[in-house]
């Protein structure tokens, strides 16, 4: 019988897309040894994610099948107000459908594994009942994984001693400022979300292996720490990226054409790109400071500016127009050097030769994309683990500059002076950072080639999946 693996991911763009690309990589690398099914959780209430899921469902093949699970009414935000709690409850409702899919497939092929992401870990209960090995696909850095693996033991004790300003965390060579860690924990604690995170972290330790979207050459200290401290076997197989970008499935393609046309008319490496992710949005006063700082800098800029949705469990949405959002006359005064837009296909933008720097929220997908493209990054984390990612990139690895490492919208305000100084530093044409980033770009690409580190770890994973059965 042919070997078959199932994958399931949280129905959010930042989590679903790397899982899908990882499935493609598995099948493309080993077309004769493995087939795969990606289980898709329908979310028609989220239009962009729904569009992406529908596009996947239409591209199923014998070797890589995208199976749309039956629709179930999503949990009420009133009962599960935090994003993680809400999505965990949604996955839990799908357990019976996940089981049915695995049982049905096992009549035709040998099911050798269920791969879940960090918020779908409870689906592993189904695999355990069916005697199918479970693996975690972890789409964030190894350094943060090492911290999460300690959560069931340390819980929030790390942050309880207010006399400590610096904390020692496994996976980080340098002590982490307490303020940076608190920024991550505060997001988790909102609406009771922390206990759900701890429950997932407990599940991490029970997996047969953990597949990490990182590169050995990028995070050697964190990976060595994981591999020597009793964690499940770790497979760093990154960077897992959608190199085609998200433009092919987004509902609105018109802004993309306008943005690309504008970039085509800009000098090489002259534009600083500001984007804060699918959930990233900033308060009115902060938007005003950014605008003033950009205008004062005199630099060319592309700014993806979005507004918050009405619910914490939904991503940001585009403004219908920017009137009243930006300072009076800003668009007119910066018309020759800048462009403000809504959603844009980020990977497509980063690969454009006009882009010379990236001000980012430090989501891990965005961070890996910037490294893959060799575009220097300035950190401006907005919520959750982004603060730890920012610290990792700026202080641990020396691969980014910073606007802020521990920003919290509504509490802090990054001044126009800080914005101006930060983007100017980022865009220095001959700085050391630019050299380091391009060197890591080359290492990431070599890792993916035959005999590279990620190539070899992927081979080890497939060997384990197919041999123990």
Query: What sign for the dihedral angle of Cα 8, 120, 187, 192?
Result: positive
Number of Cβ within 10 Å of residue 109's Cβ equals: 15
Element (H, E) at 3: strand 3-8
Q: How confident is the model at residue 310 (pLDDT cuts 50, 70, 90)?
A: low
Distance (Å, whole) CA 361 – CA 378: 9
pLDDT tens track for 399-415: 999 998 888 776 789 99
Q: How confident is the model at residue 253 (pLDDT cuts 50, 70, 90)?
A: low
Task: Tell me the CA end-to-end span of the chain in Å, nearest whole number.
Answer: 11
- Residue by residue, DSSP assigns 95-127 as HHHHHHHHHHHHTTSEEEEEEEETT-GGGHHHH
Are 338 and 294 a contacting pair, CB within 8 Å? yes
The neighbouring-strand residues paired with 340 are 303
Average pLDDT over residues 295-308: 91
R_g of the chain, CA atoms, integer Å: 22
Distance (Å, whole) CA 106 – CA 133: 14
- 347: tokens are 């990977």
Q: How confident is the model at residue 322 (pLDDT cuts 50, 70, 90)?
A: confident
Helix (H, G, I), strand (E, B) or coil at 399: coil
Distance (Å, whole) CA 145 – CA 200: 12
Distance (Å, whole) CA 83 – CA 129: 27
pLDDT tens track for 221-248: 999 999 887 789 999 999 999 887 554 4
Distance (Å, whole) CA 121 – CA 134: 9
Element (H, E) at 65: strand 64-68
Burial class (CB in 10 A: 0-12, 13-18, 19+), 162: exposed
DSSP state of 177: E
- Show Cβ contacts of residue 188 under 8 Å, excluding neighbours closer than 6 positions: 84, 194, 197, 384
- Output the average pLDDT for the chain: 88
Q: How confident is the model at residue 313 (pLDDT cuts 50, 70, 90)?
A: very low
- Give the pLDDT of residue 317: 64
- Give the pLDDT of residue 469: 53
User: Domains of the chain by range and CATH?
Assistant: 3-243+450-467 (3.40.50.2000), 256-443 (3.40.50.2000)
Q: Is the pLDDT of residue 249 over 50?
A: no
pTM for the whole thing?
A: 0.93
Are 298 and 31 a contacting pair, CB within 8 Å? no
Q: Is the pLDDT of residue 309 over 80?
A: no
């Amino acid at each position: 019988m042919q070997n078959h693996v199932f994958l399931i991911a949280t129905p959010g763009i930042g989590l679903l897309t790397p899982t899908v690309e990882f499935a493609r990589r598995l099948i493309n690398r080993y077309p004769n040894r493995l087939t795969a099914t990606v289980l898709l959780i329908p979310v028609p209430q989220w239009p962009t994610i729904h569009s992406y899921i529908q596009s996947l469902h239409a591209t199923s093949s014998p070797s890589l099948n995208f199976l749309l699970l039956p629709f179930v009414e999503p949990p009420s935000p009133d009962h599960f107000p935090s994003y993680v709690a809400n999505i965990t409850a949604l996955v839990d409702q799908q357990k019976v459908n996940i089981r049915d899919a695995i049982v049905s497939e096992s009549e035709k092929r040998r099911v050798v594994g269920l791969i879940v992401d960090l918020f779908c870990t409870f689906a592993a209960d189904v695999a355990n009942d069916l005697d199918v090995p479970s693996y975690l696909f972890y789409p964030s850095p190894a350094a943060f994984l090492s911290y999460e693996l300690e959560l069931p033991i340390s819980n929030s004790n790390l942050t309880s001693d207010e006399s400590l300003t610096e904390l020692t965390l496994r996976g980080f060579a340098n002590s982490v400022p307490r303020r940076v860690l608190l920024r991550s924990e505060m997001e988790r604690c909102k609406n009771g979300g922390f206990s759900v995170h701890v429950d997932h972290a407990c599940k991490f330790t029970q997996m047969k292996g953990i597949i990490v979207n990182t590169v050995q050459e990028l995070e050697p200290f964190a990976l060595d720490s994981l591999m020597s401290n009793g964690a499940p076997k770790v497979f760093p197989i990154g960077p897992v990226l959608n190199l085609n970008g998200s433009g092919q499935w987004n509902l609105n393609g018109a802004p993309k054409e306008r943005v690309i046309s504008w970039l085509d008319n800009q000098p090489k490496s002259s534009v600083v790109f500001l984007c804060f992710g699918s959930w990233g949005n900033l308060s009115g006063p902060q938007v005003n400071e950014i605008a003033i700082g950009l205008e004062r800098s005199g630099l060319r800029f592309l700014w993806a500016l979005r507004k918050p949705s009405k619910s914490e469990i939904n991503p940001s949405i585009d403004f219908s127009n920017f009137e009243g959002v930006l300072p009076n006359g800003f668009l007119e005064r910066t018309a020759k050097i800048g462009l403000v837009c809504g959603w844009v296909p980020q990977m497509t933008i980063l690969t454009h030769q006009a882009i010379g720097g990236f001000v980012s929220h430090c989501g891990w997908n965005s961070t890996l994309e910037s490294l893959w493209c060799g575009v220097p990054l300035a950190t401006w984390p907005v919520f959750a683990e982004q603060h730890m990612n920012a610290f990792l990139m700026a202080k641990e690895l020396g691969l980014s500059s910073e606007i802020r490492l521990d920003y919290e919208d509504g509490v802090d305000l990054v001044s126009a002076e800080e914005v101006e100084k930060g983007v100017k530093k980022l865009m220095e044409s001959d700085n050391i950072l630019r050299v380091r980033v391009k060197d890591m770009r080359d290492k990431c690409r070599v890792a993916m080639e035959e005999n590279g580190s990620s190539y070899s770890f992927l081979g080890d994973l497939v060997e384990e999946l197919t041999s123990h059965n």
